[in-house]
Amino acid sequence: MRTIPLLASLAFALAVLPAAARHDGHADHTAASGALAPLKAPEGARVFIISPANGETVGREVTVRFGAENVEIRPAGDLTPGSGHHHLLIDARELPPMDAPIPDDAHHRHFGKGQTETTLQLEPGTHTLQLDLGDARHMQFDPPVVSEVVTIQVE
């Protein structure tokens, strides 16, 4: 069966790739506990939601446009200093943990190709949106670079 070699390869990649994610002379990005250590946030980096506006009433299909200042938006895996990519938190009650990659689930959407907008299908009701800038490894920066929370009403 090919499952064992595939699992071994995956385990190796997960163990080695995070530590090799940067090649700027800082080889070890793991904390003493073995968890991934967050990278320092780009100086002055800021992310924000261009639209919809806080308090806006929208239809079930809503386009969300992302903004950024003092950081270059690049695809995930891109090691360019001063860069990152967007994650959109939808109805998330808190930020993800600092010592693990940002989850990829219904409340945390990844835009690892460097996208700067998306169209969501949301159920009627009140929803919250927040951007969270991730590094090449899908980790938050230290300190986290997040937008203000935008609350929208979906009809």
Instruction: Tell me the mean pLDDT per 10 residues along the chain, length 155.
Output: 42 40 37 71 97 98 98 97 98 95 96 98 98 96 98 98
Domain boundaries, the chain: 38-154
Element (H, E) at 7: helix 3-16
d(CA 109, CA 23): 27
d(CA 70, CA 144): 14
In terms of Cα–Cα distance, which of 119, 125, 128, 89 is closest to 105?
Answer: 89
Backbone angles phi, psi at 68, to 5 degrees: -150, 145
Q: Tell whether the torsion through CA atoms of 154, 91, 113 and 73 is positive or negative.
A: positive
Question: Model pTM?
Answer: 0.79
> Which residues are CB-neighbours of 92 under 8 A, at least 6 positions away?
107, 108, 128, 130
In terms of Cα–Cα distance, which of 151, 118, 133, 139 is closest to 39?
Answer: 139
Give residue 34's pLDDT: 53
CA contacts within 13 A on the Cβ side of 4: 1
Out of 1.20.1250.20, 1.20.1050.10, 3.40.50.2000, 2.60.40.10, select the CATH number for domain 38-154.
2.60.40.10
Instruction: State the CB neighbour count (10 A cutoff) for residue 8.
Output: 10
Strands 61-69 and 46-51, sheet pairing: antiparallel
Give residue 130's pLDDT: 98
